[in-house]
Structure 1
Amino acid sequence: MYFRTVSGAAVAAALLVPGQLAAEEFSIWVRSDGSEFMPKLVEAYNARGEHKADLQIVPVNELVQKYAIASAGGSAPDALSLDLIYTPAFAEQGQLRDLTEFAKSLPYFDSLSKAHLSVGTVDGKIYGLPFSGDASLLLWNKDLYERAGLDPEDGPSSWAEIQEDAKAIAALDDETYGFYFSGNCGGCNIFTFAPLIWASDGEVLSEDGKKAMLDSPKAVEAIDFYRGMVADGLVPAGSQTDNGANFFAAFANGNIGISPSGSFAIGALNNQYPDLNYGVTFIPGQEEGNWSSFAGGDNIVISAGTDEGKIPAIQDFIEFAYSPEGQTILAQNGAMPVRGDIAEEALAGLDERYLISAEAMANGRTPYTVVFNDLINSSNGPWVTTLNRAFFASSEEDMRQAVGDGQAQMQSVIDAAY
């Protein structure tokens, strides 16, 4: 039997209200991307006075390594708001607590983000629960559409429409371009380019993450679609070397007609560029009417070594985050709600374009792989180096050669993990 030493004051406090657990303090980390919503959520939770969450914000580029080192050294935080794509790796390494029983006891479990749960589940057990959301979307500049003689209220709904609209906008003048993407950013392109493939019934990885599918027909067609827009001069030259630094800023400058982005851009554009007249729609497939989205954000996890006595408090915090109050705090501070049944309620009073983002995330996807960083996010990884080479290839033959080489490199990285 497991015994935990508590102070006399804690025992007395527990005895004051029969059946009530003594207050617990637990540590929780979040990457700096969550520095807007997380402190407010924690502040509201702590104000209730039942338990206390001790928050630490970790720079986004340091969190994964820092958590891995802390876990190995026995100093991991009790809980962590983790970029959802890394959940499989930490779960398979035995560093996360099994949350299956708790998760399935939640009356709204079936309303939680399916994409988050798809990467939070390993071998049938749930190790990560949806916490904060973001979804990839397509933005278009309504003023440029109007100048080009296009309907400013009708965003593109197929690859062909993207290309046609981009050509019309690029023809306006030498300083205006039809389309933009960060051509040397792996994370940006899994977030915004992969949905073009998914929406066309193609794949990037197999469902279990053990097979690369970059050379599948629809993936190759999507790559050639981007290459065609580059070849037609619809994309500014700076796209080729952009490692993500201009992922948001390029469209915000007002001389780009269409650009894939994320729901985070809605708040950022409204706050920083209030005069920019833009629309938001889904990232379309090759055929009109089909669309997809990358469901991003964080899963909340509990470290495997967390003191058993702290688990009820952490679960209480998770349930607070799922409450209408918690989901509203998230929505009002830049994170999409992850409970679909109350998403509209949580977004009430905010920019209506967030509703499109909520729908995108609810029907979005997240690729499962235990080597996401080496495969996708690394600046020297096979995903980004292949796409950059293929997007800016001078011929279809060179593009196909790049894809073939990249497919082999991606599969090699995956095979090394198993």
Structure 2
Amino acid sequence: MWRKKIISMGLIAVMCVLAACGSTGGNKPGESADGSPPATAKSDKADKQVTITVWDKSPDDDVFKPIMDEIFADFDTSHPNIKVNHVASPPGTSVNEVFMTANAGGEGPDAFHNTSFPDIGDWVKAGVVQDLSSYWNDYADKDQYLPSAMEQATIDGKVYGVPADMYLMGLMYRKDLFREAGLDPNSPPKDWEEFAEVAQKLTNPDKKQYGYALLGMDWADWFFEYYVWQAGGDLTTKNEDGSITLDFTKEPTVTALQYWHDLKWKYKVVQSNVAQNFDDNKQDFFQKRAAMMLGASDWFGDFAANGVSLEDVGFSSLPAGPSGKAPSQMGGRYWIINPKSDKEKQDAAWEYIVYINSKEVRDKLNTFRLDNGIMPNLLSTRKDVNPLEFTSNVPQDLVANVQKAAEVTQLEYALKSRLSPYIVPAIQNVLLNEKADIAAELKEAEDKAQREVISPYNADIGK
């Protein structure tokens, strides 16, 4: 993303609990295929307890904390020989950097569930992901996972990750603000032209209300790439031989950045501080200051936690651009195991991943959402988990629109985590400077990225 995407730590905390679910097939969590306790739970060394560290602690004010504490306690009971040290991810602006720094210093977690779909290949190459093939081959539930969820984690026939979650992005909007502006809350904008018109009607400086929360902070390419897709291109092309071609200066990218420039400078429909923190964007949406924003299919827990009724929230496919297309970004995250952990810790980490990914745990989380009016993520990585069974108290138009947005999806651009520091400054310069030369900004970004990232990468591929 996608999940994976660099995520603010506040968002990580929410998404971690939303995603912490997932597999032991039809067996109870902690049981093997024949119903007996797994080897690590029934070890010959019955008096020895293995301690593992997992970055999945819930913040005290998280709406999911009670159910997560219950799930953690159930694991402790069913796996007395495994002690899980649940900790929060260390602070930082980049999940990747925080993890890599901790891992390099020997302080990385034994199990980690925030490895994004686009990044896992790079992480495998960097040697920070354990090959899970021996565990996976004996995993009773391995056939329950969607092939699309396993695609990025399967490299050269080896399996390196277990899907923690999947999501897709769409347009979220405040139905109540649509009504106040005289707009039909059931007719969100369908293309760029209509989007700009609607955003202008939803912008009211007297009420400190603006039409669209634009993502211009240090991971602006997360949302910007969608606009490039809508214009008919992508930020990179992955060639048949595995090499990468940069598309920063191609017409679709230029067109997309021109549209973003216009949203800020011509239509004046975005927040005054376009580089504000992503959590501030979300708070603007919760507090009715922003009428529209992009959001994921697994973020609806945020609304309950912030006192927003789902009746006031709309979700739709992204507005189409000049290409007439508007694919939704599909992403997700994998559970991985630390290759630096000793074998006992790796075995214990696998048992924990199997438990937390079990159908029983996922159904328990979805039941909690149902009981508390929280919409579940409608994309499940498992074939035997049907989120639609847990949506009776959720507005059915939300359910239908998320499903519609899932009909056409696309993965994030290749080498995103490496290339983000090059394309983002160009985006920000255009958003912060009305007179910026869009083509020149993109050319400078592409030349630098080609020299420092792509040429070395392609040379390595060719070896």
* TM-score (ref. length: structure 2): 0.71
Match of 1:394 among 434, 437, 443: 434
In the alignment, the residues of structure 1 paired with residue 37 and residue 294 of structure 2 have an alpha-carbon distance, to the nearest angstrom, of 55
In the alignment, the residues of structure 1 paired with residue 80 and residue 102 of structure 2 have an alpha-carbon distance, to the nearest angstrom, of 28
5 Å-filtered alignment, 1:147-166, equals: 147-166=180-199
5 Å-filtered alignment, 1:15-414, equals: 20-21=39-40, 22-23=42-43, 25-30=50-55, 36=64, 41-49=71-79, 52=82, 54=84, 55-61=86-92, 64-65=96-97, 67-69=99-101, 71-72=103-104, 76-84=108-116, 85-100=118-133, 102-103=135-136, 109=142, 112=145, 117-170=150-203, 175-183=208-216, 185-187=217-219, 189-207=220-238, 210-263=244-297, 265-274=299-308, 277-286=312-321, 290-331=325-366, 332=368, 336=377, 338-341=380-383, 342-344=385-387, 347-349=390-392, 351-352=394-395, 353=398, 357=402, 363-369=409-415, 372=417, 375-376=419-420, 381-395=421-435, 398-414=437-453
The one-letter amino acid of 2:76's match is N
In the alignment, the residues of structure 1 paired with residue 142 and residue 209 of structure 2 have an alpha-carbon distance, to the nearest angstrom, of 47
1:222 to 1:190, Cα distance in 2 relative to 1, 3 A? same
1:262 to 1:60, Cα distance in 2 relative to 1, 3 A? farther
In the alignment, the residues of structure 1 paired with residue 72 and residue 410 of structure 2 have an alpha-carbon distance, to the nearest angstrom, of 27
CA contact (8 A) 2:173 2:314 kept: yes
CA offset digits 1:351-381 (Å, max 9, x no partner): 3536755775794523342x71x532xxxx2
CA contact (8 A) 1:87 1:119 kept: yes
1:19 to 1:72, Cα distance in 2 relative to 1, 3 A? closer
In the alignment, the residues of structure 2 paired with residue 415 and residue 77 of structure 1 have an alpha-carbon distance, to the nearest angstrom, of 30
In the alignment, the residues of structure 2 paired with residue 164 and residue 69 of structure 1 have an alpha-carbon distance, to the nearest angstrom, of 45
* Deviation, structure 1 residue 44: 3.3
- Count of residues in Structure 1 that have an aligned counterpart in Structure 2: 393
Secondary structure (helix, strand or coil) at the match of 1:223 reads helix
In the alignment, the residues of structure 2 paired with residue 412 and residue 192 of structure 1 have an alpha-carbon distance, to the nearest angstrom, of 25
Secondary structure (helix, strand or coil) at the match of 1:235 reads coil
* Deviation, structure 1 residue 139: 1.2
The one-letter amino acid of 1:367's match is Y
* TM-score (ref. length: structure 1): 0.77
The one-letter amino acid of 2:254's match is V
Equivalent pairs: percent with the same residue?
18
1:32 to 1:116, Cα distance in 2 relative to 1, 3 A? farther
Secondary structure (helix, strand or coil) at the match of 2:443 reads helix
Secondary structure (helix, strand or coil) at the match of 2:278 reads coil
* Deviation, structure 1 residue 130: 1.3
* Deviation, structure 1 residue 409: 2.6
User: Structure 2: 5+ residue runs without aligned partners?
Assistant: 1-35, 44-48, 458-463
CA contact (8 A) 2:233 2:253 kept: yes
1:346 to 1:45, Cα distance in 2 relative to 1, 3 A? farther
CA offset digits 1:307-360 (Å, max 9, x no partner): 334545433333333322222355557884642522425744563536755775
* Deviation, structure 1 residue 279: 0.7
In the alignment, the residues of structure 2 paired with residue 18 and residue 237 of structure 1 have an alpha-carbon distance, to the nearest angstrom, of 55
CA offset digits 1:246-272 (Å, max 9, x no partner): 221122221333221334542222331
CA contact (8 A) 2:171 2:316 kept: yes
CA contact (8 A) 1:224 1:391 kept: no
* Deviation, structure 1 residue 82: 2.8
* Deviation, structure 1 residue 300: 0.6
Secondary structure (helix, strand or coil) at the match of 2:293 reads strand
Q: Which residue of 1 aligns with 2:15?
A: none
In the alignment, the residues of structure 2 paired with residue 19 and residue 391 of structure 1 have an alpha-carbon distance, to the nearest angstrom, of 55
In the alignment, the residues of structure 2 paired with residue 329 and residue 411 of structure 1 have an alpha-carbon distance, to the nearest angstrom, of 47
1:255 to 1:142, Cα distance in 2 relative to 1, 3 A? same
CA contact (8 A) 2:329 2:411 kept: yes
CA contact (8 A) 2:214 2:271 kept: no
* Deviation, structure 1 residue 131: 1.0
